[in-house]
Amino acid sequence: MTRSLPLIGFLLLVGLFGFGIWWNTRHDPREVPSPLIGKPAPAFVLPLLEDPATTVSKASMLGKPYLVNVFASWCVACGEEHPVLMAEGRTLGVPLVGYDYKDAPDDARAWLARHGNPYDMVVADQPGRTAIDFGVYGAPESFLIDAKGVIRYKHIGPFTPEVIERELKPLIAQLKRGTAP
């Protein structure tokens, strides 16, 4: 029996590696799950991209759910996501808030002018300070925040129509019915 222990240990390892290969085909290894899901969104006060004199805060957004989409003009994957948001943004039934991350405002405005603007409003975080409170580590990232200001969902990387159908829309429907867990 003791002579077969090394074999048993090795078979466990093989199982683990097999799992690892399978897991890596379905998950981006760079994806880090956010600890903020189910927690109140951090307080923020950010200027609007189009009108820097006006600010938007967490308090001003309370009362209805909204989707925050972190993007930047320098971010290539955001360009890939952009047409999806253009097509589906208005059908979500919640306001879509663009979060311009570490970007020169002129670049961002030019980018939106060229590719179209799917957002109901765009806030700008040029220094990227508030993004740290949200645990943002790249772009695009998206946060679904409910009427009480609690983060319900985070998607890392570009949205695809499938992800919106499968993950985002059912959650939004739940939030609207007020049956969110």
Partner 1 sequence: MTPELGQLALILAMLLALAQGVLPLVGAWRGNRALMAVARPAAAGQAVFVAMAFGLLVWAFLRFDFSVQYVADNSNLALPWYYRIAAVWGAHEGSMLLWVLILNVWTVALAAFSRQLPEAFLARVLGVLGIVAVGFLAFIIFTSNPFARLLPMPPDGGDLNPVLQDPGMTFHPPVLYMGYVGFSVAFAFSIAALLGGSLEQGWVRWARPWTNAAWAFLTCGIVAGSWWAYAELGWGGWWFWDPVENASFMPWLVGVALIHAQAVTEKRGSLRAWTILLSIFAFSLSLLGTFLVRSGVLTSVHAFASDPRRGLYILAFLAIVIGGSLLLYAVRAPKVAGGKAFALLSRETVILIANLMFTVAAAMVLLGTLFPLIGDALHLGKISVGPPYFGFLFPLLMLPVVLLLPFGPFLRWGKSEAGPLKSVLLRVAVAAVACAIVAAFFVQGQARAIAGVAAAVWCGVGTLLYVYKRWREMPRGRRYPAEMAGMLLAHFGLGVFLVGVLLSESLSVTRDVRMAPGDMQTVGTYTFRFDGVHATRGPNWHAEQGTVTVLQDGRTIDVMHPQKRTYPRGQVQTESAIDPGVTRDLYVALGEPMDPNNLEGAWALRLYAKPFVRWIWGGGLFMMLGGFVAAADRRFRAGRAPAKVAVEPALLAKESRA
Partner 2 sequence: MSRALVRLLAVLLLAFAGLAAAQAIDPLPFKDQAQEVRFQNLTRQLRCLVCQNENLADSNADLARDLRHEVFGLMQQGKSDDEIKQYLVDRYSDFVLYDPPVKPSTWLLWFGPGLFLALGAAVVLVTIRKRGRATRIDSRLVDNATIEQGDDW
Closest to partner 1 by CB, 24 vs 55, is 24
74 binds, among partner 2, partner 1, none (CB under 5 to 8 A by kind): partner 2
- C-beta of 31: minimal distance to partner 1 in Å? 8
Residues 6+ apart with CB under 8 A from 98: 49, 69, 71, 112, 117, 118, 119, 121, 122, 123
- For binding to partner 1 (CB under 8 A), which residues are involved? 3-4, 6-7, 10-11, 13-14, 16-21, 23-25, 27, 29-30, 32-33
Residues linked to residue 46 through DSSP beta bridges, in sequence order = 56
Closest to partner 1 by CB, 32 vs 86, is 32
Distance (Å, whole) CA 47 – CA 52: 5
102 binds, among partner 1, partner 2, none (CB under 5 to 8 A by kind): partner 2
77 binds, among partner 1, partner 2, none (CB under 5 to 8 A by kind): partner 2
At 128, list the tokens.
């990227």
Contact present, 172 and 65 (Cβ < 8 Å): yes
55 binds, among partner 1, partner 2, none (CB under 5 to 8 A by kind): none
149 binds, among partner 2, partner 1, none (CB under 5 to 8 A by kind): none
Closest to partner 2 by CB, 10 vs 93, is 10
- C-beta of 165: minimal distance to partner 1 in Å? 25
Using the structure block, give the residue that is written with the tokens 């199982």: 15
Cis before 140 (ω within 30): yes
Length of the chain: 181
At 150, list the tokens.
């609690």
Closest to partner 1 by CB, 28 vs 113, is 28
Distance (Å, whole) CA 142 – CA 158: 9
Nearest to 126 by CA among 110, 93, 144, 104: 104
- C-beta of 120: minimal distance to partner 2 in Å? 25
- For binding to partner 2 (CB under 8 A), which residues are involved? 28, 30, 32-36, 74-77, 79-80, 102, 128-129, 132-135, 137-139, 158
